[in-house]
C-alpha cells in the first residue's frame, strides 16, 4: 500500500514538472481604490524595480485585463462579442498564455525572449510584459483587434493605478521577431505589448 501511495505521489510530481503551467489563485473581484482615484493616478511608468508580483496581484491583474466577470463574458468589451483577444505573459523565464476560464498560465515556450520586446530599459526591469494577440480569423475585422486591445490595456493601467504598480503600453517592439518567437500563425497578430512592475 505504502509503495502504491509513493508511486502515485512520484507520478503526480513528475507530471507537474513536465507541465510547468502556473496555476493562478482565484482573482479577488472586489475592493481596490475608488474608480475616480484610479483614473486620477493612471499614468505610464517606465522605471521598474526588479521584483515579482504576489500570486494574488498577478491573478487580479490578469482578471482585470481579460478575465470573465460573467459566465461567458469578460471585463472588456469586444466588437460583436467575438472575444478574439489572447493575453500572453512574458517573464524572463518564458512565455505563457492566460487561460481565463481555468485560471491558469499555460506554458508556451521556456527561455528568455525579452530582447524581442525592444526598449530593454523598460522590459528588462519589468516584472513581466503582457503581449496582446488578436486572432484575426475570429475578429469582426482587423481594426477591431486593435481597438479591443485598447480596452485591455486601459484595464491594466487602472488596475496598476489601484494597486500601486507601474505600467506602460508599448507599440515599439520588433513585431516579426516576437511573432516568430511565439510561433504564432498567420491569423494571429500582435497588437501591442505592456510592461508591468513595481515602481522604482
Ligand atoms: C498605442 C500606444 C503606443 C505606445 N507606445 C509606446 C512605446 O513604444 N514606448 C513607450 O515608452 N511608451 C509608449 N506609449 C505610451 C505613451 O508614450 C504615453 O501614454 C504618453 O506619453 C502619455 O503618457 P501617460 O500614459 O503617462 O498619460 C504608447 C501609448 C500608446 C497609446
Write the residue with the smallest CA distance to atom 1 of ligand 1: 171
The pLDDT tens digits of the residues spanning 29-85 come to 999 999 999 999 999 999 999 999 999 999 999 999 999 999 999 999 999 999 999
Per-residue pLDDT tens digits for 180-193: 999 999 999 999 99
- Residue 21 bridge partners (DSSP): none
pTM equals 0.92
At residue 162, the pLDDT reads 98
* Residues within a 6 A CB radius of ligand 1: 43-44, 46, 119, 168-172, 192
Q: What's the CA gap between 158 and 164, in Å, rounded?
A: 10
The pLDDT of 7-17, averaged and rounded, is: 51
For 2, 66, 176, the CA distances from 26, given in Å and listed in that order, are: 34, 14, 34
**Cα–Cα distance between 78 and 76 in angstroms, integer?**
7
Mean pLDDT of the chain: 93
Of ligand 1's listed atoms, the one at least distance from the Cα of 43 is 26
- 37: which 3 cell numbers? 482615484
Task: Identify which of 181, 24, 200 has the alpha carbon closest to the alpha carbon of residue 90.
Answer: 181
Amino acid at each position: 500500500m505504502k509503495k502504491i501511495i509513493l508511486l502515485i505521489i512520484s507520478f503526480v510530481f513528475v507530471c507537474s514538472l513536465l507541465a510547468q503551467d502556473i496555476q493562478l489563485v482565484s482573482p479577488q473581484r472586489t475592493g481596490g481604490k475608488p474608480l475616480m482615484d484610479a483614473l486620477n493616478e493612471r499614468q505610464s511608468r517606465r522605471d521598474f524595480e526588479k521584483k515579482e508580483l504576489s500570486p494574488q496581484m498577478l491573478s487580479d491583474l490578469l482578471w482585470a485585463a481579460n478575465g470573465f466577470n460573467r459566465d461567458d463574458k469578460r471585463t472588456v468589451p469586444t466588437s460583436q462579442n467575438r472575444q478574439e483577444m489572447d493575453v500572453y505573459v512574458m517573464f524572463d523565464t518564458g512565455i505563457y498564455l492566460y487561460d481565463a476560464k481555468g485560471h491558469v498560465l499555460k506554458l508556451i515556450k521556456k527561455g528568455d525572449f525579452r530582447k524581442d520586446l525592444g526598449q530593454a530599459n523598460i522590459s528588462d526591469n519589468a516584472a513581466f510584459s503582457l503581449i496582446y494577440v488578436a486572432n484575426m480569423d475570429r475578429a469582426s475585422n482587423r481594426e477591431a483587434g486593435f481597438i479591443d486591445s485598447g480596452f485591455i490595456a486601459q484595464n491594466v493601467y487602472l488596475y496598476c493605478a489601484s494597486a500601486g504598480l507601474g505600467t506602460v503600453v508599448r507599440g515599439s517592439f520588433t513585431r516579426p521577431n516576437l511573432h516568430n518567437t511565439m510561433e504564432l500563425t498567420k491569423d494571429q497578430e500582435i497588437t501591442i505589448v505592456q510592461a508591468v512592475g513595481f515602481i522604482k
